Amino acid sequence: MLSMDEIIIKLKACMKESRFKHSLGVMETSVILARLYGADVKKAEIAGLIHDCARDIPVQTQLKMAENFGILLDDIERLEPALIHGPLGAAIARKDYGIEDEEILNAVKLHTTGNENMTLLEKIIFLSDYIEPGRCFPGVEDLRVKAFKDLDEAMICAYDSTIRYVTEKGCFLHPRTVWARNSILLHKGREEKT
């Protein structure tokens, strides 16, 4: 794996300045949440920094690269190209940055849609991407407060907000997002009964 300094240099060269600042914000937020919830801080730092490594690649190039990597995109990912950069980013992180840790790669892969039964690191990266200090949208401050009190409750609120936003725009909603939300609700329901 490349050193953090090498990763930073490489990311700066392939990202818009605003995206790089966002990635630094996600990294910093991920580290704070990892310390709070007992996740591996180094993995959170790396995943947070590299999560958007494919985001600024033009869509047609992303589609071609996904094909070359053997990434099977579903119909929703093809119709909503913003969803491609998660799975593609994981492949690029492995090939170009030497990251072999599956937990880090899965967190990068799922940071846009989520999925059912997410690990602690996957939740932290997903939520950090959502609430990093550069984000500004209605309700983000409340969500930041929740993130530091109850990770799963913050995840549910983030999914609710995403679902509203996507449906109001008339875009396709990826089923993994619904599965992720329902998975957390089911898990919380089981905890409350015990």
Residue % of the chain over a pLDDT of 90: 96
Asked if residue 174 lies in contact with residue 83, where contact means CB atoms within 8 angstroms, the answer is: yes
Q: For the chain, where are the alpha helices, taking DSSP H only?
A: 4-14, 17-37, 41-50, 59-69, 75-79, 85-97, 102-110, 120-131, 140-147, 151-168, 175-193
Closest CA to 127 of 152, 94, 100, 97: 152
Supply the pLDDT for residue 190.
75
Residues in contact with 80: Cβ distance below 8 Å, sequence separation at least 6, in sequence order: 171, 172, 174
User: How does pLDDT run across 28-73, given as a tens digit for each residue?
Assistant: 999 999 999 999 999 999 999 999 999 999 999 999 999 999 999 9
Query: Is the confidence at residue 21, as pLDDT, over 90?
Result: yes
Instruction: Give the tokens for residue 49.
Output: 């920094």
Asked if residue 113 lies in contact with residue 176, where contact means CB atoms within 8 angstroms, the answer is: yes
d(CA 73, CA 79): 10
The domain ranges of the chain are: 4-193
Query: Is the confidence at residue 194, as pLDDT, over 70?
Result: no
In this structure, of 99-103, 130-134, 150-154, 189-193, the range with the lowest mean pLDDT score is: 189-193
Kindly report the pTM of this predicted structure.
Answer: 0.96
Asked if residue 68 lies in contact with residue 74, where contact means CB atoms within 8 angstroms, the answer is: no
CATH of domain 4-193: 1.10.3210.10
User: How does pLDDT run across 133-183, given as a tens digit for each residue?
Assistant: 999 999 999 999 999 999 999 999 999 999 999 999 999 999 999 999 999
Query: Is the confidence at residue 108, as pLDDT, over 80?
Result: yes
C-alpha dihedral sign at 47, 53, 59, 65: negative
